[in-house]
Structure 1
Amino acid sequence: MTTTTWEDLVTSALLGTDRRPLPAPAGLPAEAGAPPGTGGPGDGPPADAPVALLDAAAVQTVRRRAGLVPAAAAPLPRPAPRDGRPPLPEAAARRLAQLLADRPSAGGGGRRGTAPDLTELLPQWLAAANAYGYRAPAPALPALLDAARARTDLRPQALAFGGPRALWLAAFNPEWRFALRGAAGGAALPAPDDAEGVRRLWEEGLFAERVALLAAVRAHDPAAALDLLASTWATERAEDRLMFLDSLRTGLSDADEEFLERALPDRSRNVRSTAAELLSALPGSAFAARMAARAASCVGLDHTGRQATITVEAPHECDAEMQRDGVVPQPPSGRGRRSWWLGQLVEAAPLGLWRERLGGRTPEEIVALPVADDWRDELHAAWCRAAVRQRDAAWSRALLGPASAPPASGPGVSSAAALLSTLPHEERAEWVAAFIAAHGLSEAFQLLGVCAVPWSGALGRAVVDALDIAREAGSYPWSFSGVMGLAERCLDPREADRLEVLTAATDEGEDAAPGAGGYWAEAFQRLVATLRLRAAMRTELAPPGS
């Protein structure tokens, strides 16, 4: 006698036994399918039909399990690799578990309260743990990989901290495959001087493995890395060629010029642009000389007036040779073609050209010269891009100008942040501190982002003083939440005691934003609590006896 199928049971459960009574077993009349003591099919559903359904499901479950055929045993996974790094101190391991267990608040733009935001401290904790060379506790690896999967900014530090065991574990969970893509597939790279192993992995490896291999070989023997790249360049996909070319930024030298020149006529516009950008960072290259000649024909010096003036004659066409050298002929929407071409020529020309071209003047003197016919903004913007590309600190200083100057007269906040990145860390902090002291915090967020962490004493004091001034003035506190968040992560933890006085609530003036006093008090309380937590984290990570 056949039993009711599992599909029949599921259908009855979904529709209800009053609409779909249990079918009778095959070979019996309908009444035989009803449980004892219930009516026949014409009497409506039996009172205990749901119980009968559950009984039938239990019988069917046992029957299905009993009929399973044991599967063949799978081979055991290879053991996890050994990680020889020292273990975390016990207090630091507990702190890591706390940081990994925290989740970002889903509350949106509401008040955050006074508790530190642990999710924002995890990157800093990982950086410190990696600096000490600790290995991740094995029980923390799943949560660590989950955190890295959710936040791409965590991945480099998290995978470095997780080490080989994190990569081994990631192979067992499809949701963690990002770790394998981002860390050479978890496989050990051959030694850079192992020619056969290098060649095999280059020809057969995954893309991430090949990128890691190229970087390793380049660090060992730059010429061999270029030969390796050239051996398959013509057959690579455009997106792969772009990534391989981008990897040449590290350790870029005049020895790369020949290969980059061969990449200039590439069929991919992005590859052509990247090759041109890299060549323009080599002031002695033939490409730089060609761009210098073009830029020099567009920019000159007029001595006919009372004061020397820079004159500009933008290109009238973008010929085939210019396009071969990476000049993009079609401007973005709303941009004039001639100014677009001029900007590309000037940013690619060596900055040393202008001293000779403009009367032997220094960068400061050149930047101070008037520019005819409203070309100043275009010309200075191109010089800013050139200074960043060529990492020229002297030109960056000249284009930045004094921090006390009105922001409208300078290069703009985005360009200023890029220019600051070419300066030493101490000089960046001094300039940004002076900028904040002169202009407040309204335009300082991007500038603070390029400063080293923890902030210097002068920069930290400038930020806190500006926040205090904003509070006393009754400003909208929510306008400064971004800067306050940066301060929590970047202020020196030793500032906590000095900031304690700012944690008390103040009376709100007549012109103050409603609720501002309470918000400011909470914000400073959270800042102090976060600084003390960061200090505790640093103490917990310090090796015993240090």
Structure 2
Amino acid sequence: MNRTSAPVDAPAPGVWEELVTTALLGTERRTPPGGAPGREAPLALLDAAAVETVRRRAGLRPAKAAARPEPVAEDHRPALPAAAARRLALLLADRPGTSGGRRGTAPDLMELLPQWLASANARGFAAPPQAVPALLDAARGRTDLRPAALKFAGPRAMWLARLNPDWRFALRATPGGGTALPHPEDTERIRVLWDEGLFAERVALLSALRAREPAAARELLATTWSTERAEDRLMFLDSLRTGLGPQDEPFLEQALSDRSRNVRATAAELLSALPGSALAARMAVRATACIAVDHTLDSPTIAVEAPPECDASMERDGVVAKPPAGRGERSWWLGQLVEATPLGTWSARLGGRTPREIVALPVADDWQSDLHAAWCRAAVRQRDPEWSRTLLGTPSAPEAGGPGAVSLAERAKLLATLDAAERADWVAGFIAAHGLSEAFQLLGVCAVPWSEPLGRAVIDALDIARDAGSYPWSFSGVMGLAERCLDPAEAGRLNGLLAIPDESEDASPGAGGYWAEAFQRLVTTLRLRRTMAEELEPE
């Protein structure tokens, strides 16, 4: 006897969406499609979802074969040494949260990955092909990793990013999306890319050209400047910071008349960084009219008369007329004039005094904080080490502020204008005088690895904090920096801190054991960093 199979009903349109909605709302509030309310409704929902899943998968029709992607560009960089390749796999396998709560003495591998990538890039190695997907995943989750990770991953990362939407960030993070930039002598290709390229490609082209031939980049920008959008003009103008020089002044002077306030402000900032510019001279005339030495008092004193108004010429030169909330108009205008004035102006204006003598002068009528803060901004903008050194003051100065710096953030900016050795010595002196409670921001501007005096100051301060009976997580930020920034050669100096000390009566319970664990982790991390550096040496 012939048996005819019962026909299978075709799935109704929207069934899957209906099942998802029911699952979200709950079967008590919504009956599964084709089912009945009651105790069996959840099972009916799961059964229906299972059947629909099979239908959806089995019902897919073969699609037309797509064209094969072009082969990835060849990477001519040397391969990683085998030991370094194994180390990279371990670093990439470590993910935030995979270790559970407390780390114990185990190093934080993900925090060592940026340093490892920087070392590998400095040696010119290529990433192992099998590691590129994990590198892209790591860079996707951490924007701070992206520049180094994408540089190390090379052309294969761009090739994969075009095939996987999850990695499209790489196309945005890489100038030009990985597009090969034309050679500087290929003027025709440069012109075509500048006229027809995507915005990211044009930014990459201008930045690369500016680094090699500043004048050519500026001339290229000038050809289309008047037709660019305001937000694009601002981005393009920012690229002129590289190689900024007196030859850029005519172009920047024209930009002072731009219809965009942000473009005008950026042009004024760049011109004020050129002490010989006409704008700097105009600002100096305005600022010196407001500041002079008053000899009528018992001792020479700086007298300040803030500008009474912000006229059109001041606004054209980048002075923002409206102050932020809580700030007086006249002090706001004065600060902008002073920070844009060449610092060399003040010696002649204030009786031939040196920066140190000028900063030491009393300032009348409570203008000292405004005036010194403006000089701080000028020293940072003009990268003037003598003024920065003066405004920083001595590391042992009380509280956070020196003669001119009123916050640790300002001190950090001033420190960045000094050379690496002087910066490290100053921060070491600050830690010796004030401990670690306010040092984190200052340590962040110091070169890595830390110099021996700075490393010794940090270790000694951690030892003092331990003896004071506090818990180590009060200094977790500094401890984390030490793991990444201490010279690995300092590991031997920490051996005496690994034992659990006897706890005093006023110590926090168990603090000694936690400190021993933290120091053990620090030593382990330093030794691992030394091993990682050795593994990156060519075989």
Q: TM-score scaled by structure 2? A: 0.90
Deviates more, 1:452-461 or 1:466-475: 466-475
Aligned to 1:4: 9
User: Which residue type is aligned with residue 143 of structure 2?
Assistant: T
Determine if contact 2:376/2:391 at 8 Å carries over to the other structure.
Answer: yes
Question: How far is 1:235 from its partner?
Answer: 2.3
Question: Which structure's CA Rg is the greater one?
Answer: 1
Aligned to 1:253: 245
Match of 2:293 among 297, 301, 310: 301
Aligned to 2:531: 536
SS in 2 for 1:334: coil
Q: Cα gap change, 1:55/1:334 in structure 2, threshold over 3 Å: closer, same or farther?
A: closer
Q: For the residues of structure 2 that align with 1:398 and 1:188, how far apart are their CA atoms?
A: 46
Match of 1:116 among 107, 110, 117: 107
Question: How far is 1:221 from its partner?
Answer: 2.4
Aligned to 1:27: none
Segments of structure 2 that go 5 or more residues without pairing to the other structure are 1-5
Aligned to 2:120: 129
Question: How far is 1:55 from its partner?
Answer: 11
Match of 2:423 among 418, 421, 428: 428
Q: Cα gap change, 1:357/1:406 in structure 2, threshold over 3 Å: closer, same or farther?
A: same
Q: For the residues of structure 1 that align with 2:46 and 2:312, how far apart are their CA atoms?
A: 83
- Say whether 1:490 aligns with 2:490: no
Q: Please provide the CA RMSD for this pair.
A: 2.8
- Say whether 1:81 aligns with 2:73: yes
Segments of structure 1 that go 5 or more residues without pairing to the other structure are 24-44
Per-residue Cα deviation, 1:368-418 (whole angstroms, up to 9, x for no partner):
111111111111110010000000011111111111221355113111111
Per-residue Cα deviation, 1:321-341 (whole angstroms, up to 9, x for no partner):
111111111111111111111
Q: For the residues of structure 1 that align with 2:53 and 2:98, how far apart are their CA atoms?
A: 42
Q: For the residues of structure 1 that align with 2:119 and 2:54, how far apart are their CA atoms?
A: 58
User: Which residue type is aligned with residue 126 of structure 2?
Assistant: R
Q: Cα gap change, 1:56/1:190 in structure 2, threshold over 3 Å: closer, same or farther?
A: closer
- Say whether 1:454 aligns with 2:449: yes
Question: How far is 1:518 from its partner?
Answer: 2.3
Q: For the residues of structure 2 that align with 1:434 and 1:540, how far apart are their CA atoms?
A: 35
User: Which residue type is aligned with residue 343 of structure 2?
Assistant: L
Per-residue Cα deviation, 1:489-533 (whole angstroms, up to 9, x for no partner):
000011112102212222332222333222212211111111111
Aligned to 2:381: 389
Determine if contact 1:111/1:519 at 8 Å carries over to the other structure.
Answer: no
User: Which residue type is aligned with residue 451 of structure 1?
Assistant: C
Identity of aligned residues (%): 69
Per-residue Cα deviation, 1:449-477 (whole angstroms, up to 9, x for no partner):
11100000000000000010011011343
User: Which residue type is aligned with residue 516 of structure 1?
Assistant: A
Which segments of structure 1 move beyond 4 Å, counting only runs of 4 or more?
8-16, 19-23, 49-63
Aligned to 1:38: none
Taking the TM superposition and a 5 Å limit, the aligned residue runs for 1:329-408 are 329-408=321-400
Q: Cα gap change, 1:226/1:510 in structure 2, threshold over 3 Å: closer, same or farther?
A: same
Taking the TM superposition and a 5 Å limit, the aligned residue runs for 1:432-447 are 432-447=427-442
- Say whether 1:148 aligns with 2:126: no
Aligned to 2:152: 161
Determine if contact 1:298/1:312 at 8 Å carries over to the other structure.
Answer: yes
Aligned to 2:462: 467
Per-residue Cα deviation, 1:282-302 (whole angstroms, up to 9, x for no partner):
000000000000110111111
Q: For the residues of structure 1 that align with 2:259 and 2:188, how far apart are their CA atoms?
A: 31
Q: Cα gap change, 1:197/1:514 in structure 2, threshold over 3 Å: closer, same or farther?
A: same
User: Which residue type is aligned with residue 366 of structure 1?
Assistant: I
Q: Cα gap change, 1:372/1:476 in structure 2, threshold over 3 Å: closer, same or farther?
A: farther
User: Which residue type is aligned with residue 338 of structure 2?
Assistant: V
Per-residue Cα deviation, 1:64-108 (whole angstroms, up to 9, x for no partner):
46xx3x433211110111000000011111111111111112899
SS in 2 for 1:83: coil
Per-residue Cα deviation, 1:175-214 (whole angstroms, up to 9, x for no partner):
2122112221211111122111111111111222111101
Q: TM-score scaled by structure 1? A: 0.89
